[in-house]
Amino acid sequence: MENSLKFDELQRSKIASMFIDDKYVITKAICNELEKGKKAAIGEVRTWGGKQFKKVYDGWEPVGGGEKRSKVEEGDVDKKDAQNMANDKKGGASKVQGLGIFNDTHIYQSVRKSETPETLTKNCNKILKSSDTNQRKSIELFKNGLHIHEIVNLTGTPLSATIDYINKAKKQGEFGNATQSSTRTNNDSADENGNTPIELNGVEIPDIPIQARWDSYANNGTMIACGISKSMFAYGSGGVGKTYTLLDEDEGVFSRLKMRKADLNPALDDVSEAEGPLEVQTEDGEDSHIGINPQTGDRFLKKDKYDYIVVSGKLSATRMFELMQEHNGKLIVFDDCDSVLKNDDGVNVLKGALDTTGDGTISWEGKGSLTTGYAGIRGAQRRTDNKGNPVPKWNLPKTFKFNGQIVFISNYKSKNIPQPLRSRADLIDLTMTRQETIDKVESIMYRSKFKDSKGNRIEVTKENREKALHFMQKYIRKIETDDLNMRTFTKIAKQYQFAEQTGQDEQTALSNVIATTFPRKINPND
Amino acid sequence: MIDPIKIKEKGLKAFSNKELDELYATLSRGIENGEPSKTMKDIEAEMQSRYDDFNKTKK
């Protein structure tokens, strides 16, 4: 037994011995009272609370059996408590293993659910073995989704002190995002049995099913599309439908609401590197969203032709700031642009963009000049070459008033979202457990679209989609967490489809699927 | 330490912080993989209430 976990085997065995049946519990209190004074001999009878108890080899039992209760009455220590004491027989080791997920409400429940029991146990043990104070350990365990009783149990900190630590941390804003999210969901206070969970000033909140979070995500997307909300920040495991839900060309929220997407990929459109903005030609050969002034040859954005623009891929903070000026007044969707979260400039720009309280003024505090290849941007000044001749590039102002909207879709986990962003945007946590991810894959697998290397649609039969799902269900614990998503499903389903079309037997098909899903488990040095 | 059966007679407020701490710790030790019981949640709520009262008094 690890000392750091403070499981007292002696106490444990005493408590276990005091459990007589599921209707009668002799508490540790009684036991302590009976143990006082001289060591009791086996068979010795002692009295406590006007009742007699006999010492047996492994504890105490009531004399005459007259004290056995026929039922647990309301207001007594309840049946769960009795069961808890019964479970105590199993000892501390099983408790460490038992850090599983249970249906309790906790503001960090999503953090806990995002971990496997193994990683959760590993994280908790790391915290417990650290040289931190009990206060710090308690707070860190709480942030991992552990309930107060588990913290009390693992750290040995009394409940009163634990409550004190958690409340202080909350007041100091340590639970910023989680606390904020609690205020959003406090209304859903009744559980499935109609009971209202006890709330400790926001320390505990009712949880909502993951599907409700997805519905909320779509709902917030609708609020953005309708202009009601200014910004949204959605995060969670990649490849499970965040982009699809909002941006799918047929079924996405924005398409269904007839929003027009700009045919540009501004992440590639870095005027500091390239000659000019990347233009995407439409089928009829005309630029759909970029116009050219016939007199000057300057390019400009046809802002009346689109409602939103999607930016995806690696993006610098500078480029993000430029984009927000270029497409000011429009909705900008940053999809999978997590690179900007890694530096302070990016976070600062996003802070300004996501903030719904100010007047929208954003300033650039980073180094370097800001440029655009589009004419007509407010406050921009045309650049000249070495000889003083005007060139089709403009310097952008370092402060401007952003009156557009922002949707930021991130694959980051909750704990990696920079704190300044958490408190500003409408946050939607779509982090899922492995099982929830598989359920999500199942719910959208018949609708998902398959494309070939050139982006053309290819057909994958219902049977092959189901085979892919069954494979993922079977190896749910073997597939890397980051790979448990629709992308892997797509990859596997395509393998099965190709196998069918080329007449491969089942074993070959399975081999191909395994080979493309799992790495070899070998040591190359052997 | 208090006998949890006496909670029915006296109510949680009759017990000291230390007594409730000890009872809570005892009850929590038995949970292996499940929700805390009503008694435990009541004790948590009571302790939170005491914490709030204490801080109000300090102000």
A203 and B CB contact within 8 Å: yes
pLDDT beyond 50 at A278: no
A5 and B CB contact within 8 Å: no
Res. A270 pLDDT band, cuts 50 70 90:
very low
Res. A176 pLDDT band, cuts 50 70 90:
low
Per residue in A470-498, is it b (16+ CB within 10 Å) or e — as a string? ebbeeeeeebeeeebbbebbbebbbbbbe
pLDDT beyond 50 at A478: yes
Contacts of A188 (CB under 8 A, 6+ apart): A206, A208
Are A28 and B26 inside 8 Å of each other by CB?
A: yes
Q: pLDDT, tens digit, for every residue of A192-214? A: 333 344 344 445 566 677 778 88
A166 and B CB contact within 8 Å: no
B34 and A CB contact within 8 Å: yes
Average pLDDT over residues A111-125: 76
- According to the model, what pLDDT value does residue B12 have? 84
Closest Cβ opposite residue A29 in set B2, B29, B48: B2
Q: Which residue reads 């948590």 in tokens?
A: B44
Parallel, antiparallel or unpaired: strands A59-62 and A361-363: unpaired
* Residue A43 to chain B, least CA–CA distance (Å): 23
- According to the model, what pLDDT value does residue A76 have? 43
Please report, rounded to a whole number, the percentage of residues in chain A having pLDDT higher than 90.
8
* Residue A37 to chain B, least CA–CA distance (Å): 16
ipTM (interface pTM): 0.89
Closest Cβ opposite residue B28 in set A153, A164, A198: A153
A341 CB neighbour count, 10 Å cutoff:
19
Res. A65 pLDDT band, cuts 50 70 90:
low
Distances in Å between the Cα of A507 and the Cα atoms of A476, A499, A512, B28 are 20, 10, 9, 51
- According to the model, what pLDDT value does residue A92 have? 35
Closest Cβ opposite residue A160 in set B17, B28, B36: B17
What residues does A390 pair with on adjacent strands?
A384
Please report, rounded to a whole number, the percentage of residues in chain A having pLDDT higher than 70.
71
Which residues in chain A (14-53) have CB-CB distances under 8 A to chain B?
15, 25, 27-30, 32, 49
- According to the model, what pLDDT value does residue A88 have? 45
Query: Looking at per-residue confidence, does A11 or A476 come out higher?
Result: A476
Give me chain A's average pLDDT, please.
Answer: 73
Average pLDDT over residues A144-155: 82
Q: Which of A45-54, A146-155, A483-492 has the lowest mean pLDDT?
A: A45-54
Query: Looking at per-residue confidence, does A366 or A404 come out higher?
Result: A404
Are B44 and A160 inside 8 Å of each other by CB?
A: no
Q: How many CB pairs under 8 A join A and B?
A: 135
Interface test with chain A among B7, B8, B18, B26, by most A beta carbons within 10 Å: B26
Q: pLDDT, tens digit, for every residue of A74-103? A: 334 455 555 554 444 333 333 332 232 233
Are A87 and B30 inside 8 Å of each other by CB?
A: yes
Which residues in chain A (373-402) have CB-CB distances under 8 A to chain B?
none
Res. A409 pLDDT band, cuts 50 70 90:
very high
